[in-house]
Amino acid sequence: MSLSRAAVLLGRNRETLSAWMAKGMPVEGRGGTGEAVLVDLKRVVEWLEARAREDERRKFARPDPGAEGDRPLTTREKIELAKLAGQTMKNGKDAGYLVPRPVVEAAFERCLGIVRISVMAVPERLVREMSGFPEDRKAVWRKKAIRSCAASLEEAAESIATAMSTFDPGADAADE
């Protein structure tokens, strides 16, 4: 799609996307004078997500003890950091910002169940709303709708599985 169309869909102006191009945003084809720059919106969104993740990593990166000018933390400093991290976690929990993982997982599971039920109800609702059409046509539409809904749910499940495969709950615990 054109750079202008992508800008509209992303809620940005064309100049912002041009600046992103200068920073490495993927493009499918660079237009010449008077020609449109083509972008793949999915690749642009993936690039933006990767940049956001990298920004967060940099923001919360721990100092590298091997870096020039840095020294390893003393035992006292490590203890103070652990106390500070513990206090931060306690403050977050007390303020209601942190929720135990099993609670979040259960809520997420219930949410996905509701989504699955709602999505799979679409074909039946379509058939009901098609009264007056021949039964054989309604049956074909129903089968197509079921396949489409099931494929959408499978794609969502694969996307979640991929995202969760990169998540290592033990990594944070090992860092502390």
Question: What pLDDT is attached to residue 65?
Answer: 53
Q: What residues have CB less than 8 Å from 175, skipping those under 6 apart?
A: 62
**Torsion of Cα atoms, 35 then 41 then 46 then 51, to 10°:** 50
Q: Is pLDDT above 50 for 176?
A: no
Alpha-carbon distance of 32 to 131, in angstroms, equals 53
* 141-168: pLDDT as tens digits: 889 888 888 888 888 888 777 776 765 5
Please say whether the beta carbons of 37 and 3 come within 8 A.
yes
Q: What residues have CB less than 8 Å from 116, skipping those under 6 apart?
A: 153
Please say whether the beta carbons of 137 and 114 come within 8 A.
no
How would DSSP label each residue in 31-86? --TT---B--HHHHHHHHHHHHHHHHHHHTPPP-TTSTT--PPPHHHHHHHHHHHH
Please say whether the beta carbons of 127 and 138 come within 8 A.
yes
Q: Is pLDDT above 80 for 5?
A: yes
Q: Is pLDDT above 50 for 171?
A: no
Question: What pLDDT is attached to residue 172?
Answer: 46
Alpha-carbon distance of 82 to 176, in angstroms, equals 7
Question: What pLDDT is attached to residue 19?
Answer: 92
Higher pLDDT: 120 or 171? It is 120
Q: Is pLDDT above 60 for 170?
A: no
pLDDT band at 92 (very low <50, low <70, confident <90, very high): confident
Alpha-carbon distance of 7 to 29, in angstroms, equals 16
